Structure 1
């Protein structure tokens, strides 16, 4: 094969117009992700970008926005129990996954302020 996949660059989550303040409060302040500047030519489109570990998460404006209820990104977390407590202390509703015992993987879900599902997981 003449090419090779290098990995994931970023995940984009859609949000409604005017989402920036709520996105900064949730992803930046409550989750603790660092905001990264968008390139100048893309700033007029709205939205906001964040760094999560080695990956970027782009919150992009979608005019006919509908939240992703099933499709979702999944982020690996070290010490999911401590992360769960971090979320609860910040008023973020946590949905625990009952299937973790079957797979040996612990996971939980949250909804962002726009209704998008986000998974956080820890491998044994």
Structure 2
């Protein structure tokens, strides 16, 4: 059966630059002293693993987490404001399983069918930052 919503990237122009761009990490901010709360969400709920920060950067606070091919740096921002619109779009193979895990931990998710060729939902971490999880349909 043909997909009624083709991925727009399939018809996009060639985007090659020769630089080999790729994503190393995403930075999400947290309030001062918010590291333990982030651990409880990103490690305990999402299943990421905390990785050691280099000593010079560890002195700044925050934490780094990694899962599969994704690394997220959670950095302390003195005048923290949660990102309610800006967000990382995180590809997930087992979207429904992740949705169940997040809701079982007491976090709300909102399914959104407005991205052709993908299934996705949005949620907020325990500091109010928006996250999008998606998988190709």
**Same-fold call, TM > 0.5?**
yes
Q: How does 1:1-124 map to 2 (within 5 A)?
A: 4-100=19-115, 103-124=116-137
**Shift, 1:49, TM fit:** 0.4
Structure 1: state its 5+ residue gaps: none
- Larger Rg over CA atoms: 2
Runs of at least 5 residues in structure 2 that lack an aligned partner in the other structure: 1-15
Per-residue Cα deviation, 1:13-45 (whole angstroms, up to 9, x for no partner): 011000111010000111110100111111110
1:54 & 1:2 partners in 2: Cα distance?
A: 22
Instruction: Give, in whole Å, the separation in 2 of the partners of 1:123 and 1:41.
Output: 39
CA distance in 1, matches of 2:104, 2:76: 29
Deviations 1:58-82 (A, max 9, x none): 0000001111111100111112112
Q: What TM-score, normalized to structure 1?
A: 0.91
Corresponding pairs, count? 122
Moved over 2 A (4+): none
